[in-house]
Structure 1
């Protein structure tokens, strides 16, 4: 089936190449420097991608990361019953794990962008340039949510770098090149087009969402590499593929350049973590059924189901039931797009928001803020001879909501981290603790008091992902 599909495409490319060659011969004399310059005409682009590659490839690097992980050597490995019962008792041995990825130099002083999953928890990072120079690197900023990491090459200066393009101006059908080091075979270039925009994290995996989709071949090892336009500017950072085999099937995703630029800016300002503006909203895309029920002319925008009282959008006048249609003049059709639009602007910026209320168009300017860390979270960690040993809890405030990705209506005491003992008892980060052994929990101090006063039988009432959960066990 693939042969039948590919044959016409190859023929069309051959015809296009011959036409471009004829056009070039008629309209321009041969340019001896064409191989080392950015294309100056559409005919040059159609004829060859080499000028773009010569311009962009030197700024794309290979990244070798080393990390030490604890590996359990269990005699019960593979047995579904005994591994579950005794797996935690197996001894652990340290093992060195290597990972391979790509990166992009965005600052001539040695600032490199890559994926967090390439260098996360790495104990040693080595970066190899296209001209075979090698540098040790340290992580300036790592953000797992956006899957971005900013590296600084030790002792580097006057390096080739890529400029950012405005990823909001990218359109489906634009030509792009993916440059990276797939499978460790060496730097490789693949061509394609932008095949989709604003692909959400529900389709791709974790991340801020609203990825750029491309059919340029992306394979393992391409992660962190460059997606560039026909001017050799950075469109995005390649980060993921959809595949049943682990190889490219023509559906790859890149983190938009505007978001990458914001993360780089914060790293250069000295921040070691990425702070994005807080929306304080929950909502869903307007589909055909929702549009009909709300009397909307077409299924566009995001209908809000809740708005936190301290949200900057609430301060601008928005409330549950409103349909946000645009942020800064750009259409939004998923909650992830709203998050991306404000994340690329940064804390302290202002954005113009358009929305519909009862079918009437409205608009306002929203001042973007970081999630307030108030009232005080009263964080504490339980310790002692209790099944809650190692349990970290906090009072919910907007900052905690943002960190744990909780809905705006969440309130009370939440688990921020579960230690080994408390995790074995069934606790998970994000659990809201309602009661312990029948006694209601109203503060983190209540959790500590009740944790140290329990008997052998325990009953914990929780809310987990919006559903009631009861933990019952003997200790």
Structure 2
């Protein structure tokens, strides 16, 4: 009996010693910052699944319970001074006050109070109020925004919060069940279910930057903006952003910014203060029937390279006009929004493996992404980018910046995109830094005079009042 006791004691001590050594020498430290992407192997339950979707494999109640506390109500508050209405003026109410400009949703992404929402939810806010699912309200600080992707990062002073872990949006599948969690019509903590209807959906109708959204038929309405799109494991796969309907309400489909894009934007804002955009250095587009017939192509999917930017990573890697990009890393490229959606998750100096067709033969090249610098001229809703020597030479100008895209459907994008701005308020500009410096010191009430050279080489002066 004594020998058995000694043997048991030695076994316990040995196990404890082994565990302690493992903890000291082998256990990986968790880095500071956002929680890691969840690697849970989610089962994609198709919409026509004949089994019990509320069984072990796909328990919606568990996913809802695990995420509802990670979604918040975001209120855009305007602060004003003096009388606001005629009634205030008549009754001597000159103290000013606050008014709700709009409301939406937000997703807690870390236990220390970082929250993702849509930029349009908090745009032009004097104050941002955030209400948790337990009814506690906080004043939120706007850490940074990205107008292009419509993502904003907020921070509240709180600890130990329930948060929703990031999932891998590259792994979502058509027909996979998802939940939309948000606050539509100010109805707190609303959960709706649907499926993934499409991936890499481009809603671009009037600017030059293709977008890449996850499309879902989970009901999303005004107030859902900035809320969570989660899979059945409660992992964040998208930020609900837009609906397309004549009434402005849900009609059967809605759109979300993929979580991989969102995470990259958030990390850039936290680390660099703005979004670091990497580009391949090509101009091109999806393959259409007209292109197939004109070029006698043997494939109907991919991105046809129309131009390779001088000095770019694509040029250095050997890509040429006429190449057809079929794959980047392990992502199949069937259309241009597949390409941009994946590249937007990368940063300048990152390397990607590009698989492409040239004269029917498959080739591969490693491309180092270049930095893409732009500046948004907010008063006139135009985004400008640096130009290449070839751009300047083609229009016979010595300096300027290129209009990269327009930000308003009222502007004639087809006429403006690609033209070169040579001067602003009669001051020559050579890069986006020059443009930024002019507007940083400019009185917002002053007229804006822009000198442009159109695609035909004609110089024009445009005045915005």
Runs of 4+ aligned residues of structure 1 deviating over 6 Å after TM superposition are 204-207, 406-411, 441-445
Query: Does residue 118 of structure 2 align to residue 115 of structure 1?
Result: yes
Q: Is the 8 A contact 2:183 2:224 kept in 1?
A: yes
Tell me which residue corresponds to 1:386.
Answer: none
**Partners in 1 of 2:336 and 2:394 — Cα distance?**
17
Give 1:319's aligned residue. 320
Secondary structure in structure 2 of the residue aligned to 1:107: coil
Corresponding position of 2:145: 142
Alignment partner for residue 453 of structure 2, among 434, 455, 463?
A: 463
The one-character-per-residue Cα deviations of 1:115-135 (angstroms, maximum 9, x if unpaired) are: 111112221011111111111
Secondary structure in structure 1 of the residue aligned to 2:204: helix
Q: Displacement of 1:322 after TM fit? A: 1.4
Residue 169 of structure 2: aligned partner: 167
Distance 1:343 1:288 in 2: 27
Which residue of structure 1 aligns with residue 244 of structure 2? 242
Alignment TM-score, normalising by the size of structure 1: 0.68
Instruction: Using the TM superposition, give the Cα deviation of residue 396 of structure 1 relative to its aligned residue in structure 2, in angstroms.
Output: 7.0
Distance (Å, rounded) in 2 between the aligned partners of 1:469 and 1:253 = 40
Let me know the Cα RMSD of the aligned residues: 4.3
- Please give the alpha-carbon distance, in whole angstroms, between the structure 2 residues aligned to 1:396 and 1:265: 23
Displacement of 1:147 after TM fit?
0.6
In 2: Cα distance, 1:244 partner to 1:67 partner: 28
Counterpart in the other structure of 1:361: 362
Q: Tell me if structure 2 keeps the 8 A contact 1:195–1:213.
A: yes
Structure 1 residues 396 and 175: alpha-carbon distance in aligned structure 2, compared to 1, 3 A threshold:
closer
Aligned to 1:254, what secondary structure does the other structure show? strand
Distance in 1 (CA, whole Å) between partners of 2:251 and 2:266 is 31
When residues 264 and 174 of structure 1 are mapped into structure 2, their CA distance, relative to the original with a 3 A threshold, is same
Mapped contact 1:434–1:461 kept (Cα < 8 A) = yes
Check conservation: 1:396, 1:413, Cα contact below 8 A.
no
Residues 443, 50 of structure 1: alpha-carbon distance in 2 compared, 3 angstrom cutoff: closer
**Higher-RCO chain (CA-CA 8 Å, sequence separation at least 6):** 2
- Contact 2:422/2:430 (<8 A) preserved: no
Question: Following the alignment from structure 2 to structure 1, what is the Cα–Cα distance between the partners of residues 393 and 80?
Answer: 36
C-alpha offsets along residues 342-363 of structure 1, whole Å, 9 cap, x if unaligned?
A: 2212233221111111222111
Q: What is the DSSP-based 3-state SS (H/G/I as helix, E as strand, rest coil) of the residue aligned with 2:352? A: strand
SS at match of 1:163: coil
Q: After superposition, give the CA deviation of every residue in 1:227-259 in whole Å (9 maximum; x if it has no partner).
A: 000000001000001110011001100000100
> Which digits, 9 at most, give the CA deviation of each residue in 1:119-171, with x for residues without a partner?
12221011111111111111112100111011111x21110111111111111
Could you tell me how far 1:283 is from its partner in structure 2?
0.9
Please give the alpha-carbon distance, in whole angstroms, between the structure 2 residues aligned to 1:330 and 1:128. Answer: 38
Tell me how far apart the structure 2 counterparts of residues 126 and 116 of structure 1 sit (CA, whole Å): 14
Alignment of 1:301-316 (within 5 A): 301-316=302-317
Structure 2 stretches lacking a partner, 5+ long: 1-46, 85-95, 404-415, 439-448
